[in-house]
Amino acid sequence: MAAGGSIFNAMLQEFDGAARLLGLDPGIWKILTNPKRQIAVSCPVQMDNGEIEVFTGYRVQYNITLGPAKGGIRYHPDVTLDEVTALAAWMTWKCAVAHVPFGGGKGGVICDPTRMSRRELEALTRRYIAEIIDAIGPDKDVPAPDVNTNDQIMAWVMDTYSMHVGHTSTAVVTGKPIEMGGSLGRREATGRGVMIVTREAAKYVGFDIKGATVAVQGFGNVGSVSADLLAGIGAKIVAVTDWKGGVYNAAGLDIARMLDFAKGHKTIDGFPGGEPIDNEQLFTMDVDVLVPAALENQITLENAPAIRAKVVAEGANGPTTPEAHRHLHERGIFVIPDILANAGGVSTSYFEWVQNRHGYFWEEEEVNRRLEAKMCEAFRDVLDTSVRYRTDMRTAAYIVAINRVATVTRMRGMYA
């Protein structure tokens, strides 16, 4: 974590290095390092026991130069305004890298959803959306699922907004159930994007993805889909960990069986297909690819020296601290940064929004074909920039993103 423990400061460190290389105008620099809007709301909810609890919620619209703000809503006890602001900034750069016409936003509510009933979660969601209703909309700010939120919660978001505006508005949110206008392929999109850029990185670094060994931290949506799709193109998933435990098998794990096990047990801890391991052991493994797909700040200066992977594909947001990233780069480890590696989710969210706006829906094959093209284009743009500026992929991704947002900021001019 950055100085002072601020995730936003960590984002600024990444931004500053790229902005210097780019020779960014000081005025534009100031604009792009300050969030446009930070909203904090109180959300009173009557709990099942009859008592009233007041939850704090945030929505940050970091930058909307390229289009409506875009970003998930997370429910977690450790949500802070600093974290939500950093995540909204990362969404700004992620959308710009993926070349989708969205700005960056993020939302969060301080709560423990594991201790709440379905009715309480619905009441909290509807109250939170009602509190930020003036700030969101298909042309303003389009939320999506994030940590501890899912398609059902997005359905409540859509319904609450629709009730307020007096008509069904499917395009206000992405990650909805298919039946309500969600896009085919959306659930797998972030993991599919991780698979695509990992495959492309393997070509560049110089090893065959078929038979390549992979370790995955996190077996939620991103980690499980990444593991499944990488196995599908011939990679050997040898280690996986989640919030409770982990499993290692040098011969390769049966990901299909592991998915079934995780569905029933809500964890992979105790999966019978290998030996038990923990996160600490996972990071030390001699593998070709490491996929951190859990939470922020998992790879630090403490454990980075033990990492032996050739490629680190960041499925999670901000899993590597700036100091740890510098260490990995100096050792020649090819890091695919989060704003590129996990941009498959926001790319397909964009496809969902487009389909909602047009009222015409694509087959899953069409969604995946478009995602393949977009992720390959983004990877090439960042890799070419990395070579041109003689810098690492994270700095290159920021250069691509900052340049796109700065160019449009200059074109639009200053409204006063």
Both structure tokens of 71: 């970003």
**Which amino acid is present at 246?**
G
Contact indicator for 141, 69 with CB cutoff of 8 Å: yes
Q: Strands 141-145 and 69-76, how do they pair?
A: parallel
Q: Which whole-number Å values give the CA distances from 109 to 89, 255, 261, 285, in the listed order?
A: 18, 33, 30, 36
Distance CA 155, CA 163 (A): 12
Per-residue b/e over 134-170, b at no fewer than 16 CB within 10 Å?
Answer: ebbbbeebbbbbbbbbbbebbbbbbbbbeeeeeeebb
Q: Which whole-number Å values give the CA distances from 235 to 162, 191, 207, 319, in the listed order?
A: 44, 14, 11, 22
- In the block, tokens 């890298």 appear at 97
**Residue 281: φ, ψ to 5°:** -70, -35
Contact indicator for 345, 370 with CB cutoff of 8 Å: no
Concerning whether 106 is annotated as a catalytic residue, the answer is: yes
**Residue 189: φ, ψ to 5°:** -65, -45
Catalytic residue among 106, 236, 310, 374: 106
Contact indicator for 318, 7 with CB cutoff of 8 Å: yes
Both structure tokens of 113: 């959803």
Per-residue b/e over 21-30, b at no fewer than 16 CB within 10 Å?
Answer: bbebeeebbe
Which residues are part of the catalytic machinery? 106
